[in-house]
Structure 1
C-alpha cells in the first residue's frame, strides 16, 4: 500500500493526491505528528529531511518533493499518462509547474500568514494583501495566456499542467481571489473542479480550514513554527513584510530547513 504523508491544505500534497486518484491508485494518507513545530520524527522524518509534506512511501522507496514524486508516479504507473507526448509540450508543463510551485505558492502561503496566523498588525496586513492582489492578477493573466484556446493546460486532456495549477487557484479562491467571470481561466477552473480527483482533494482541503481558526494562538505561544523556504522568504520581504520576518526570528516562530546543517 502506498503511504502519502500530507496536510490537506498543502498544494504540494494536493498535486500528488490528484495524480494518484487520476491513475486509480489506492493509497493511505497520514499527517505527520508535530509537523507545525518542525520537529517530526519517525518514518516521515526519515523520508523527508525537509520536514515538510508531502512524502511518499512505496515499500522500500521513500521520496520527498512533490515534483519528484509526480515523476516517480508517472514512471512507475505510466497509464494513463499525465504528460503530453511532444518534448516541447512536456517542457512547458514542467515550466508551468515550477512557476506555480516557486512563485504562486508563496502568495497563497503568505495570505495564510496574514489570515490564519495573524502576522503583523492590521495596517501591515492591508499593505501586504494589496501586493498579493496585484501579483495574483498578473499570474492569472499569464495563466490565461498559457491556456490559450485549449480545454486543458496539458492540451486536449487533463494532466500534469492542470493538477499543478488547480490547487493554487483553489487556495486563492479561498481568500477571495478569482479570475474574471466569463474568462477562459474561470471556465477551466470549473472544468477542473468537476473532476472527481480534484473535487475530493479540494473538499478535504476546505474541511481542514476549520482547524486553522485557533492556530494563531499556537504561533504566538511559540508552539507552531512556519517554514520560510527561499521563495516564501523572498515574497514576504519584497511584499513589505520585513517586520514580520524580524518578529518571527526574534520570537522563534518561523523556521528554515536545517537538516543538512553541520
Structure 2
C-alpha cells in the first residue's frame, strides 16, 4: 500500500488518520516531482492533477481525498468511520465538505503569507486579519456542530473528526486556535491523544519546522504553489489579487491540470 502525500497537506493527513484508525499499513512517499507540475513519472501517471494524496493499492490508483476515504471505508469496513444512519452520514460529509473547501482555503492563504512571504507590510497584515476573522467564523460553525458531544460523530470518533482534525490543528499551529477551555479546544486535546492522530500530527510538526528552508523554492520557481478553486477565490475576495498577479508575472504559481496551450 503506497500513499503519495505531503505531511503538511490537510487532505493527506485526513487519509492517514483514517488508515491508521483502521490499522491498515501503508508506505508514505513524498513525490519527487511534487509542486513542479511535471506530467512524467509514476506520480503523474497515478494522478494527472499531480496533487496529493494518491492511494496505490496494487493495481488500483485513487486520487481525491474524499474518494480515497470512501474507498478505505468500503475496502476495510472495520472499525467504521461513517455512522449507519443516513442523516448522520450526511452530517459527517457536509462537515468534511466545508473543511475541504472553505476552511482549507483560509489556512492555505495564511500559509502563503507566513511561510511563502507572498505579501509584506500592510497587505500582509490585511490578509492575516482576513484569515483570522474567517477562521473564527468557521470555528464557531464547527463548535455548534460539535455541541456537547465528545466527537463530531457523537459518542465515538469518526469520519467528521478525521476531516476536521488537520484543519483545526493547523489553526492552532498558526496561533488561531479556539479559546482555551472551549468545547472545540477540549475536542482538540482529546484528538491529540489518539495514536492515529498523534502520529499524523508529529509528521506535520516535523515538516512545518522545515518550511522556512523550503519557502525559497516556491518563490524562485523551483516549485510552484497551486492556485485552484477555493484557494484562488480566497486570495481574490480577501484582497490579495495582486498576490495572484505577481505570481503569474514571476511564474511561481500554477493552476490545475489540464494546462492551457
TM-score, scaled to structure 2: 0.97
Residue matched to 2:67 = 68
Deviation for aligned residue 1:123: 1.6
Is the 8 Å Cα contact of residues 116 and 216 (structure 1) preserved in structure 2? yes
Matching of residue 180 in structure 1 with residue 179 in structure 2: yes
Q: Which runs of structure 2 are paired with 1:8-157 in the superposition (5 Å)?
A: 8-39=7-38, 41-157=40-156
Structure 1: tracts of 5 or more residues without a match: none
Residues 92 and 210 (structure 1 numbering): CA distance in 2 closer, same or farther, change over 3 Å? same
User: Aligned with 1:164: secondary structure?
Assistant: helix
Structure 1 distance, partners of 2:218, 2:183, is 39
Is the 8 Å Cα contact of residues 33 and 40 (structure 1) preserved in structure 2? no
Structure 1 distance, partners of 2:241, 2:38, is 25
Is the 8 Å Cα contact of residues 3 and 56 (structure 1) preserved in structure 2? yes
Structure 1 distance, partners of 2:211, 2:17, is 23
Residue matched to 1:251 = 250
Structure 2: tracts of 5 or more residues without a match: none
Structure 2 distance, partners of 1:4, 1:40, is 18
Deviations 1:56-114 (A, max 9, x none): 00001100000000000000110100011110000010000000001100011111100
Deviation for aligned residue 1:47: 1.1
Query: Is 65-74 or 114-123 further displaced after alignment?
Result: 114-123
Structure 2 distance, partners of 1:40, 1:158, is 38
Matching of residue 158 in structure 1 with residue 157 in structure 2: yes
Structure 2 distance, partners of 1:99, 1:81, is 22
Deviations 1:6-30 (A, max 9, x none): 0000010000000000000110111
Structure 2 distance, partners of 1:174, 1:123, is 23
Deviation for aligned residue 1:41: 3.0
Is the 8 Å Cα contact of residues 100 and 165 (structure 1) preserved in structure 2? yes
Structure 2 distance, partners of 1:14, 1:27, is 13
Which aligned segments of 4 or more residues in structure 1 are displaced greater than 6 angstroms?
none
Deviation for aligned residue 1:210: 2.2
Is the 8 Å Cα contact of residues 34 and 51 (structure 2) preserved in structure 1? yes
Is the 8 Å Cα contact of residues 96 and 160 (structure 2) preserved in structure 1? yes
TM-score, scaled to structure 1: 0.97
